[in-house]
Amino acid sequence: MNKLHLFDLYKRYALCLWLFLLWFAFIFILGRFELWRHIGVSHMKPLFADLHAVLSAIECHGRGLNVYATNPCDVASRVHVYGSLWLELGALGLGAAHLFSKGFLVNIVFMAVSVWLIKPSSGREFVVSALILLSPAVTLGVERANNDLIVFSLLAGAAVLFTKPQKTAQVFGLFVIYLSALLKFYPSVLFVAAVIVAKRNKKNFLITAAIASGLLITWLATNYAELLLVKTIVPRPLDFYATGARALLAYVGRPYPWILTVPGIWLWIGFIVLIATNSIILAYSLKMSMTPRARSTLNYALFIFGLLILFSTYAINSNYDYRWIFFIFTMPLLFEIQRTAVNEKLSRRLVVCAFIFAMLTMWTEALRATGLFGLININVFFNIGRSTFSIELIQQFIKELSAWGLFSILFAFAMTEFPRRGSVLD
């Protein structure tokens, strides 16, 4: 009986197991033979360098140094640009020692949580999942053991708690979001997401809104000075391994400098209006062709969590590519839509387009590493006098415009899949 139970369990989770093993083998081979750069990942030493930056900041903070100004404990002397809660972990004995074991644990937990959330149920979903998980964007985060991976795992837990029927679990989920916002600032947008995905019960909605508002106000009141400080020192990457609305503006401004004379606020508003317009048009078309269906509450909560984090960080600042790990949050709902929209061509095609846009955005650095675009002379198109520079720009345009298309589709699905009372599966 036990053997039969284990066999049934294997059949149910076989694709998850093989996806995890494939991913683990892929990372092991890249690390063992130092092949990172061949797929467009910038390797830093030591391995898990971003985790080392945090742990070294904890160590220097323990010595009485202001790590927001200087951090000699880090191999690259990178200052601390995250919440001060990290620094208090030194009281638990956390430091830069045993970096590999700590980075390995962070990565294993992240990989296990990601595979568990996606749960591919067919060969097609397995292939798509593998292409996302093995992408240079996700691999960059794993190679660095960036603390986004820790926040990712915490927020996945928050989504699970928040979609439980017990009120205490939902409240605890809000406190996990609050904890995450103390570690890195961007999870604070999820207090809005918590209200969006709250049960369509008026009393429960008001309670959730009140607690979320209280936690947000508390977070702002206790972290405002720290937020202003970090704002002045946080990296604003451009070019390689970076993504963001302001990044595309910089790329356009190189061949056409007059673009940079337009006030930034107007360009930002134009970006928001463009995404909103595209999303509304797509959402209207979807509404006309879709049959309302019950959806998984957890899948929708994860979808909103991932979308709000991705879009808010993309629109406000440029980010390193590993921020795209939060696209993983949107995948369960996209797969669910594709599985159930059997006779709805538009829905299925938009899901396919979303994955194509995501892959273009997350794999562009690998294209750069192969030099594929170097086979085509596109200097005339950009008219800036240097063929190599033109090649770099066209790669960045593909990357960022794909992100714009992806956001348009994701917001359209967010609107059409908005849970109505009695329309979700718990």
What gap in Å lies between CA 324 and CA 148, rounded to an integer?
Answer: 10
User: What's the mean per-residue pLDDT of the chain?
Assistant: 87
Question: Which one, of 420, 125, 115, 162, lies nearest residue 305 by Cα?
Answer: 162
Cβ pair 41, 140 in contact under 8 A: yes
Question: Which one, of 51, 154, 65, lies nearest residue 96 by Cα?
Answer: 51
Q: Domain ranges in the chain? A: 6-35+98-425
- For the cut 80, the answer to whether the pLDDT of residue 202 exceeds it is no
- pLDDT value at residue 422: 44
- For the cut 80, the answer to whether the pLDDT of residue 378 exceeds it is no
Q: SS3 of 296, please?
A: strand
Comparison of pLDDT for 380 and 350, the residue scoring more: 350
Question: Which one, of 26, 256, 278, 210, lies nearest residue 129 by Cα?
Answer: 26
Q: Model confidence at 8, in pLDDT bands (50, 70, 90)?
A: low
Q: Which amino acid is at 187?
A: P
In 146-274 the beta strands, taken as DSSP E runs, fall at 242-243
Cβ pair 96, 73 in contact under 8 A: yes
- pLDDT value at residue 154: 97
Q: Express each pLDDT in 170-193 by its tens digit.
A: 899 999 999 999 999 999 999 988
- pLDDT value at residue 420: 59
- pLDDT value at residue 6: 67
Q: In the structure encoding, which two tokens stand for residue 156, read together? A: 């996945």
Cβ pair 334, 212 in contact under 8 A: no
Q: Express each pLDDT in 261-283 by its tens digit.
A: 888 788 889 999 999 999 999 99
What gap in Å lies between CA 212 and CA 192, rounded to an integer?
Answer: 8
Q: What is the DSSP letter of 74?
A: S
Q: Model confidence at 380, in pLDDT bands (50, 70, 90)?
A: very low
In the numeric block, the tokens 């048009």 are attached to: 281
- pLDDT value at residue 121: 92
Q: What is the mean pLDDT of residues 315-322?
A: 89
- Tell me the helix, strand and coil percentages in the chain, rounded to 5: 75, 0, 25
- pLDDT value at residue 200: 58
